[in-house]
Structure 1
Amino acid sequence: MTTMKPTAEPAAPQETTSATDPEQQWLDTVYRKGEKQLTPRAIIAGMLIGGVMCLSNLYVFFKTGWSLGVTLTACILAFAVFELFRAARLTKSEFTILENNAMGSVASAAGYMTGGGNMAAFGALLMVTTTRPSAVWLMLWFGVIAAMGVFAAIPIKRQLINKEALAFPTGTATAETLRSMHEATHHGDAGAEGAGGGKEKARLLGIAGLMGALLAFLRDAKAAWIPFNLPGSIALPFQIAGRAAKDWTITLNCELVLVGAGALMSFRTAWSLLLSGMAGYAILAPRLAAEHAIKEVSYKAIVGWTLWPGAAILVASGLTSFFLDYKSIVRSFRGLSGIFTGGAKSEKEEPIAEVECPTWWFPAGFAVLAPIVILLMGFLFQIPLWAGIIAVPLSVVMGFVAARVTGETDVTPTKALGPVTQAVYGVLSPGNLAGNIMSANVTGGVGLHAADLLVDLKSGWLLGASPRQQLKGQLFGVVAGALVVVPAFWLIMPDPSVLGSEEWPAPSCLVWAGVSKAFAGGLGGLPPGADRAMGIGLLLGVVLALAERFAPKKLLPFVPSPAGLGIALVIPASNAIAMFIGATIAHVLRKVKPALGERLTVPVSSGWIAGESLMGILIKLLAVAGVLQK
């Protein structure tokens, strides 16, 4: 799974050489002591907005394989809602910048409940096994894993953020956005432009959301009282190998959610998607059909073959990038050792100790949560006790590594964390598909939520917020996300057999399921020629990851993105085309009108995605209620 975030150039990690203690300087000049932060309205708003974003992310995830950034959109929405409440005199006090920042921590924890391998693992589980845990057990499972990630962030926060000042570009961008929106509240007329910008973004997001919702309703809502429906796709007037282009999934999709997702990704990723999608479905698939390597010309048959080179590219590039960051890994282990060796000054003697999360929260949190996870691993997925015990320290190590890599690159290496754990458990517990998949879910979930909290703590550090308040907010968000994500999944996917279909490609689920099968049962069951294609994919993934790291900066835009190439082989070509269109529009707009592109891209794209995805879920609810046809 890939997470799309605002891009920025990460600053190189630097050890502070100044005689000034950065933590004392922060306490003296930045920390806003006594200002309200995690208020009841911030918690409620964060849980509600985060729950809605979780629904939207779930829909997008099974369509595209990507999870979308949550915090920025949530902060814009909260700002707009409370400004509206204040104008209507429904609330007297202003929704402050620190309240919005705390709300963002709640919302991000809830919205990212789809990430970290949660839905990729659960979807893969349903595809390859008959294991069907109850909704209550799954809520507990996802919630406890996410909470472990929150506590895993505690011991390394001060080192990564306070002392080394790692970039965490998304956290920095969030702080800058919050400042621009709330400046008028704190500085009067001097910040009017910033507040106006915030209101404009909120207005654009709302208009785009209505557009996405209207399109989804006119396309998907079916009933006797609805006179017409828009088409789901537009056929292209040409043939490939004697068959219509649509037979090879090459059509124009009428889905703004895909166009919006493309606009939020880099243009390099988007053209790589198009290149790989066309090569896979217009060139490779007809050849496979001619050689009878696939039994029929359909998306499911084609992707049953192309999955293997696609997964190989994703796994190889993820692992290569992961190990190229060996310095981050080494620093992570040093940070881990520092937990046990301690510092020269006791925590109680440090002034900042009254603000930071106490270090004892980390072992106390794991003492409570780890036994629950180990018991659930055995009870739900038949993972041996000894193997479950191994998962806990492994998840902590991976969480530390994920946090540092995120801080330095803004990319959480979930494509590497999952396969590493699947490989370990493929050896320790061979043949246990459920255990192989869900043990990797533990590693990925802890890693993602540790990194997510640190991204939020970076914005809080820049704004002068209390880390303790943000951590508590993150736990509220975990509860909200766990309560929403499981019933929402069953609402969207009442029949799990649709996973991997053209309607619901679920590319990340296909990859996790494929990796699990390969580690658990060997490669003997692969379709003809897929083993050779996997070898090529592994080599290509390694080469492209090396090129990403070492190619001259001016040549990097011309290096194919391994994420784009790999994902394109496990989604329909129509999805790749739609995302490329969105990315091209955003790219051209930024080039021709940079200021306009900067103002429009995020709110309009996020609005399209949220509007269409939430209307899609509402249509399913209305169909269940009998208002619309199923």
Structure 2
Amino acid sequence: MTTMNHAPPADPAVPTENAPAKDPEQQWLETIYRKGEKQLTVRAIIAGMLIGGVMCLSNLYVFFKTGWSLGVTLTACILAFAVFELFRAMRLTKSEFTILENNAMGSVASAAGYMTGGGNMAAFGALLMVTTMRPDPLWMMLWFGAIAALGVFAAIPIKRQLINREALAFPTGTATAETLRSMHDAAHAGAPGAEKAVGGGKDKARLLGLAGLVGALLTFLRDAKAAWMPFNIPGAIPLPFAIAGRAAKDWTITLKSELVLVGAGALMSFRTGWSLLLSGLGCYVILAPRLFEEHAIKEVSYKAIVGWTLWPGAAILVASGLTSFVLDYKSVARSFRGLSGLFSRGASAEKREPIAEVECPEWWFPAGFAVLAPVVITLMAFLFKIPLWAGIVAVPLAVIMGFVAARVTGETDVTPTKALGPVTQAVYGVITPGNLTGNIMSANVTGGIGLHAADLLTDLKSGWLLGASPRQQLKGQLFGVIAGALVVVPAFWLIIPDPTVLGSEEWPAPSCLVWAGVSQAFAGGLGGLPPGALRAIGVGFALGLVLALAERFAPKKLLPYIPSPAGIGIALVIPASNAIAMFIGSLIAHVLRKVKPAMAERLTVPVSSGFIAGESLMGIVIALLVVMGLLDK
């Protein structure tokens, strides 16, 4: 019989008022960790690989239409839960598909479904657009799989710092944990021992379901196009004012009807939310008009603006992330010291912390790096003619970028591959000028490692809140990497048999166009930077450094008033409308916490999770209906 979940436990790494200081890891072991419960079962692995593979197909289609990949983990967990509940009702299975099985399944599915992200398809599409290369599909499967697996191992040395100690939000991970609790508690509310879960769990499940229906309905009415549709809700509401003689919408300043952005904002800290708004408005209200006036950008469009602002934005993210990483140097040093565990495990076992028996062994990171790095470097030389010395530089740099991406994701729920990829392209434009292929695919290494490190940490946040085994989740991610690598390459050629259609009206592939443009600009070195961008990079780097230091050393009472470097940097590489929507979500949650704290605890996470899950699910349904010809393109 499965042990039922009690009332949703608070994150032990987040201090509570009037509570005595206690080691969060020890508290987690004593009160939350579910020792001995089944997690990464055979059926969880199979379900995760199948669902993740299907979602990889959907994401591939949507990516080349829009440039975005849809959410994976929440959607996969909801689908798996529904399928196994149906199996039980039909008596095809006797045992319950437990909450920890579902959580482990989500780790498998997310790794597979996100194989389209992290620059993988952006780089591959750009490669096919601007070169005559047509790499063998089997080699490309190995390429994508090796990069993703290296990203999985890169998450190990920073997991305890970001999740156990700092308690970074990882909004999607938090939403996934709450979604799983609500579904499983509500479904089994009548089971023995579930009395404590009935009230809160059932109520939150109802709220999540209603919010999910609202998100799904809004998405359908907005995005489903067909002759029989009576109307469509606009994707954005223009604001009635002008900036520098141009409508606000030309500067991306609108109110979006995307509840997923509001939901993600509600799961962020208010500090990150107001930082997004401050930077977003500063970028598009002040900086962008000035750039256009001084002819630093040639037109008023998101693509033109972000082609300039991504440089200071990326510099802020990199500088703040690297500074925080340097200040947390002990976590990496500990992982390399863990290599001694390979040879003296018995001698050191008695001295190990209790949490070490549960966490991924520290030596797994350097061991994984030692195995996978030579594979990636060899493939860089063999497939893309990147010099060995340049590959040796690329992989450690990509791992460091993975640490940066993970921290930013923890704060904002946005993995900054669109900013960090071009940084790598700039570096390779300098050290290997003229190598167009190498320029694109070296950035693919950075993006892929960063995404999969952040993805695993997002899943590990769910596991931390639910009491799951980090080791089981990491193994699940590796199964997902295998499934995604096997699906994504043949699926690409199935959907895009002729790469010349990329960039066309039918297959716009905006991310591929951006990667191709940046690689062509940097093939000749830093001379390809837009006017003034080099100085902006220096300013951004200094700002990121100062903000990161202030974040660490300023008095705690001043911290809410210090801009978040992640929020400031991210806002420079997303439309202003996204920053506005996320700020609105964070503001609503902040006011609710101040005015009605009990109501905030009851509403914020389940409603936000419902918005995210509903919109993600309906986005996939609409994409599939378009493929089937039941909706217009």
Write the deviation string for residues 303-341 of structure 1: whole angstroms up to 9, x where unpaired: 333333223322332233232323334334433x53566
Distance of aligned partners of 1:246 and 1:394 in 2 relative to their CA distance in 1, 3 Å threshold: closer
Question: 2:534: which partner in 1?
Answer: 531
SS at match of 1:234: strand
| Match of residue 3 from structure 1 | none
SS at match of 2:194: helix
Aligned pairs for 1:101-112 within 5 A = 101-112=103-114
1:561 to 559, 564, 576: 564
Aligned partners of 2:165 and 2:430: how far apart in 1? 36
Give the conservation status (yes or no) of the 8 Å contact 1:56–1:614: no
Alignment of 1:582-597 (within 5 A): 582-597=585-600
After TM superposition, give the deviation of residue 56 of structure 1 in Å. 8.5
Q: 1:92 aligned to 2:94? A: yes
SS at match of 1:297: coil
Instruction: Give 2:380's aligned residue.
Output: 377
Whether the 8 Å contact between 1:181 and 1:195 is mirrored in structure 2 is: no
Distance 2:62 2:597 in 1: 27
Sort the Cα spacing of 1:575 and 1:134 in 2 relative to 1 into closer, same or farther, 3 A: farther
Residue 299 of structure 2 corresponds to residue 296 of structure 1: yes
1:62-73 alignment runs, 5 A limit: none
Number of residue pairs aligned between Structure 1 and Structure 2: 603
Q: Is the 8 A contact 1:180 1:195 kept in 2?
A: no
> What's the CA shift for 1:281?
1.8
Task: Report if the CA contact (8 A) 2:182-2:201 is conserved.
Answer: yes
What's the counterpart of residue 215 of structure 1?
218
Aligned residue among 578, 581, 585 for 2:581:
578
The aligned amino acid for 1:596 is M
Report what 1:270 is aligned to.
273
Residues 1:50 and 1:260: Cα distance change in structure 2 (over 3 Å): farther
Change (3 A) 1:254 1:144: same
Tell me what 1:312 maps to.
315
**Partner Cα separation in structure 2 for residue 475 and residue 589 of structure 1:** 40
Amino acid of the residue matched to residue 559 of structure 2?
A: L
SS in structure 2 at match of 1:141:
helix
Alpha-carbon distance in structure 1 between the residues aligned to 2:312 and 2:109 = 36
Q: Which string of whole-angstrom CA distances, capped at 9 and with x for unpartnered residues, describes residues 174-197 of structure 1?
A: 889878876897996543332554
Q: Distance in 2 between matches of 1:57 and 1:264?
A: 24
Q: Please tell me the residue identity of whatever aligns with 1:100.
A: N
Letter matched to residue 40 of structure 1: V
**Structure 1 pair 384–366 and aligned structure 2 pair: CA distance change class (3 A):** same
Contact 2:410 2:458 in 1 (8 A): no
Matches of 1:540 and 1:385, distance apart in 2: 34
> Could you tell me how far 1:129 is from its partner in structure 2?
6.6
Q: Could you say if the C-alpha distance between residues 378 and 233 of structure 1 is closer, same or farther in structure 2, counting changes exceeding 3 Å?
A: same
What's the TM-score once normalised by structure 1's chain length? 0.74
Q: Classify 1:46/1:595 alpha carbon distance in 2 versus 1 (closer, same or farther; 3 Å).
A: farther
Matches of residues 65-464 of structure 1 in structure 2 within 5 Å? Answer: 78-79=80-81, 82-83=84-85, 86=88, 89=91, 91-113=93-115, 118=120, 137-150=139-152, 189-194=192-197, 197-335=200-338, 337-338=339-340, 342-343=344-345, 345=347, 372-388=375-391, 429-442=432-445, 445-446=448-449, 449=452
* Structure 2 SS opposite 1:252: strand
Question: For the Cα contact (< 8 Å) 1:75–1:178, is it kept in 2?
Answer: yes
CA distance in 1, matches of 2:630, 2:179: 41
Counterpart amino acid of residue 250 in structure 2: D
Give the letter aligned to residue 96 of structure 2.
Answer: E
SS of residue in 2 equivalent to 1:110: helix
Q: In 2, are the aligned partners of 1:56 and 1:613 still within 8 Å (CA)?
A: no
Q: Secondary structure at the match of 2:580?
A: helix
Structure 1's 69 and 443: CA in aligned 2 closer, same or farther, altered over 3 A?
same
Aligned partners of 1:259 and 1:580 also within 8 Å:
yes
* Contact map agreement 2:277 2:583 (CA 8 A) in 1: yes
Shift of the alpha carbon at 1:429? 3.4
- Give the equivalent residue in structure 1 for 2:6: none
Q: Is the 8 A contact 1:310 1:537 kept in 2?
A: yes
Residues 13 and 164, structure 2, Cα contact 8 Å, conserved in 1: no
What's the TM-score, normalizing by structure 2?
Answer: 0.73
Asked if the contact 1:402–1:448 (Cα under 8 Å) also holds between the matched residues in 2, the reply is: no
- Secondary structure of the corresponding residue to residue 438 of structure 1: helix
Partner of 1:482: 485
Distance 1:84 1:520, change over 3 A: same
Q: Which residue of 1 aligns with 2:43?
A: 41
SS state of the match for residue 591, structure 1?
helix
Q: Deviations over 1:441-464 (max 9, x none)?
A: 435645664676577678779988
Whether the aligned pair in 2 keeps the contact of 1:125 and 1:513 (CA below 8 Å) is no
Q: Is the 8 A contact 1:491 1:621 kept in 2?
A: no
Is 292-301 or 70-79 further displaced after alignment?
Answer: 70-79
Q: Which amino acid aligns with 1:208?
A: A
Which digits, 9 at most, give the CA deviation of each residue in 1:351-410, with x for residues without a partner? 9999998999889977875565344323443223454466567777887x7899899999
CA deviation string 1:242-292 (max 9, x = no partner) = 222222222222222332332333222222222222222222222333333
Deviations 1:33-82 (Å, cap 9, x if unpaired)? 5x543333322333355457768888999999999986677556655654
SS of structure 2 residue aligned to 1:345 = helix
In structure 2, the gaps of 5 or more residues are 1-8, 16-22
C-alpha deviation, 1:239, in angstroms:
1.9
Cα drift, residue 544 of structure 1: 1.8
Q: Give the 3-state SS of the residue equivalent to 2:527 in structure 1.
A: coil
For residues 77-104 of structure 1, what are the alpha-carbon distances to aligned partners after superposition, in whole Å with 9 as ceiling and x for unaligned? 6556545654665543222344234324
Q: For the residues of structure 1 that align with 2:356 and 2:298, how far apart are their CA atoms?
A: 65
**Cα distance in 2 between the residues matched to 1:318 and 1:269:** 15
SS in 2 for 1:320: helix
Q: What is the deviation of 1:209?
A: 3.3
Provide, for residues 90-143 of structure 1, a one-character-per-residue CA deviation record: whole Å limited to 9, x for no partner.
543222344234324323433554565546755776798776657665444222
Distance change in 2, residues 1:138/1:272 (3 Å): farther
Give the counterpart letter for 1:146 in structure 2.
Answer: A
Q: 1:606 to 1:475 in 2, by over 3 A?
A: same
Q: Secondary structure at the match of 1:209?
A: helix
After the TM superposition, which of the residue ranges 247-256 and 408-417 deviates more from structure 2? 408-417
Cα 1:192–1:205, aligned 2, differ >3 Å: closer, same or farther?
A: same
Question: Which one of 602, 608, 612 corresponds to residue 609 of structure 1?
Answer: 612
SS in 2 for 1:296: coil
Q: Which amino acid aligns with 1:142?
A: F
Structure 1 residue 477 displacement after superposition? 1.9
1:550 aligns with 2:553: yes
Gap change, CA 1:438 and 1:194, over 3 Å in 2: farther
Conserved 8 A contact 1:7-1:169: no
SS of the residue corresponding to residue 111 of structure 2 reads helix
d(CA) in 2 for partners of 1:327, 1:276: 32
